[in-house]
């Protein structure tokens, strides 16, 4: 398939690079960044695959003219093929900045773009050594260590993600590391009244009942297996309670097969707010996570959350009033997760406590408003200044970024 990007009349300001298998929150993140950069007057391109979730999302958003067909995958054996393809796209469109999203894009981009006059930004959206099977973690850590200096800027979505970088012993020589917490559009994700929530439950399910909602990718990272185990413990104690699972992913069929009574799988939704607005509580027992967009969206809908202590999940509730939700220290303990989930479902059935929790959740979400996020992102781009191409292996053997190439601010 030919590239979709319109014939350029000038070099791009930024080319975003995203892997083919990336779904969940990353496509939402990139779509919002592309939309706002375009509104800000930047020339933007997006390198991804036509079968990816992001490609469809950008077309639906009227941003199809940004798309460049590049098959970015996670298989290291394909780097000799995919790397030159990405390099050609960069040469053709002359971006000042290449912004690589996720480990797959970082693997290809950091190895393929050496020597080109571009500024490189890497944003892991969870580190590769967290995502791979245990037998491959040493290899992933070794690659991250070796590639740490092949970029100008590393953007972490939470303090925890930056802390993981430090714990692993990576010190990107010459690269700036910044934390830009994830975002939520509170004008789109907004609360509804208790009466509206109950009407939505009746419309969807035929009755009003304590309702827990999970929104996200059906993959081991998100801990849906933990959630199902906990709900199977809770269900006999609260037989009227129901669990609504919204999303798709590689483990979807397996999770459906093991689900018990009152567990409803709704598949992928292009309009997740409608599901969050009928929830009494959101439950997110991730094994690792940067800072879940779904958690922020749930809070913005005035719904308290139960989250694991993984990564930036706990940061979302750190230092805030307890009415907005609760962190489960050991979500692998199904009994403990069931107890916390049940307590919040019972609490939200009392109108005064439900109202107080809803207000607290909404207040917390306001700290992650999308406009502030984009201001911080624009400032990070602008601070890069001018840099020179980063050699793959400098003559003295040290991998580090050198001051000098071109970059446009916002």
Give tens-digit pLDDT for 207-222: 999 999 999 999 999 9
Alpha carbons within 13 A on the beta-carbon side of 140: 20
| Residue 176 CB neighbours (<10 A) | 15
Residue 112: name the closest of 141, 54, 169, 151 by CA. 151
Is residue 128 over pLDDT 90? Answer: no
Q: State phi, psi for 211 to the nearest 5 degrees.
A: -125, 120
DSSP reduced 3-state for 121: strand
Is residue 114 over pLDDT 60? Answer: yes
Is residue 303 over pLDDT 60? Answer: yes
Give tens-digit pLDDT for 331-344: 889 999 999 999 99
Q: Give the lowest-confidence range in 33-47, 59-73, 194-208.
A: 59-73
State the pLDDT at residue 228. Answer: 97
Rounded to whole angstroms, the Cα distance separating 66 from 347 reads 47
Domain boundaries, the chain: 14-183+370-383, 194-368
341-365 average pLDDT score? 95
Residue the block writes with tokens 């400098």: 394
Alpha carbons within 13 A on the beta-carbon side of 110: 31
Is residue 395 over pLDDT 60? Answer: no
pTM score: 0.88
Tell me if domain 14-183+370-383 and domain 194-368 are identical in fold: yes
Angle, to 10 degrees, between the axis of helix 25-39 and the axis of helix 293-300?
70
268-291 average pLDDT score? 95
Rounded to whole angstroms, the Cα distance separating 116 from 46 reads 18
Q: Give the lowest-confidence range in 69-83, 156-170, 355-369.
A: 69-83
CB 12 within 8 A of CB 44: yes
Rounded to whole angstroms, the Cα distance separating 219 from 247 reads 10
79-106 average pLDDT score? 90
Q: Give the lowest-confidence range in 1-5, 67-71, 289-293, 328-332.
A: 1-5
Is residue 37 over pLDDT 90? Answer: yes
Is residue 391 over pLDDT 90? Answer: no
Give tens-digit pLDDT for 65-74: 999 999 886 6
State the pLDDT at residue 319. Answer: 72
State the pLDDT at residue 126. Answer: 84
Is residue 263 over pLDDT 60? Answer: yes
Place domain 14-183+370-383 in its CATH homologous superfamily: Glycogen Phosphorylase B; (3.40.50.2000)
282-304 average pLDDT score? 96
Q: Give the lowest-confidence range in 36-40, 113-117, 148-152, 229-233.
A: 148-152
Give the mean pLDDT of the chain. Answer: 86
Can you name the CATH fold of 194-368?
Answer: Rossmann fold (3.40.50)
Percent of all residues in the chain with a pLDDT value above 70, rounded to a whole number = 85
90-111 average pLDDT score? 90
């Amino acid at each position: 398939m030919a590239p979709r990007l319109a014939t350029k009349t000038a070099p791009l300001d930024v080319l975003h690079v995203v892997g083919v298998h990336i779904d969940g929150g990353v496509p939402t993140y990139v779509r919002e960044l592309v939309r706002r950069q375009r509104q800000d007057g930047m020339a933007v391109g997006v390198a991804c695959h036509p079968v990816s979730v992001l490609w469809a999302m950008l077309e639906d958003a009227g941003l199809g003219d940004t798309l460049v067909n590049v098959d970015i995958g996670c298989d290291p054996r394909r780097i000799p093929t995919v790397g030159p393809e990405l390099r050609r796209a960069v040469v053709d469109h002359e971006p000042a900045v290449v912004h690589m999203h996720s480990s797959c894009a970082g693997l290809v981009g950091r190895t393929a773009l050496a020597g080109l006059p571009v500024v490189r930004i890497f944003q892991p959206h969870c580190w590769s050594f967290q995502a791979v099977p245990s037998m491959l973690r040493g290899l992933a850590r070794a690659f991250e260590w070796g590639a740490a200096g092949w970029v100008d800027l590393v953007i972490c979505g939470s303090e925890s993600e930056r802390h993981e970088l430090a714990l692993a012993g990576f010190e990107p020589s010459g690269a700036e590391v910044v934390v830009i917490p994830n975002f939520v559009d509170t004008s789109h994700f907004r609360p509804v009244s208790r009466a509206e929530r109950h009407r939505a439950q009746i419309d969807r399910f035929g009755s009003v009942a304590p309702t827990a909602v999970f929104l996200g990718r059906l993959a081991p990272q998100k801990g849906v297996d933990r959630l199902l185990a906990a709900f199977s413990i809770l269900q006999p104690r609260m037989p009227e309670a129901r669990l609504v699972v919204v999303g798709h992913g590689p483990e979807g069929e397996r999770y459906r097969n093991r689900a018990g009574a009152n567990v409803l799988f709704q598949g992928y939704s292009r309009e997740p707010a409608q599901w969050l607005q009928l929830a009494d509580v959101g439950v997110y027992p991730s094994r690792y996570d940067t800072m879940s967009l779904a958690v922020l969206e749930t809070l913005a809908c005035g719904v308290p959350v139960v989250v694991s202590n993984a990564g930036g999940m706990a940061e979302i509730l750190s230092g805030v009033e307890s009415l907005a939700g609760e962190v489960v220290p050991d979500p692998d303990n199904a009994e403990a997760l069931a107890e916390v989930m049940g307590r919040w479902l019972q609490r939200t059935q009392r109108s005064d406590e439900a109202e107080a929790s809803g207000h607290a959740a909404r207040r917390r979400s306001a700290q992650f408003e999308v406009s502030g996020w984009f201001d911080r992102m624009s400032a990070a781009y602008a601070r890069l200044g001018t840099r020179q191409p980063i050699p793959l292996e400098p003559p003295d053997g040290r991998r580090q970024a050198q001051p000098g190439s071109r970059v446009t601010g916002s």
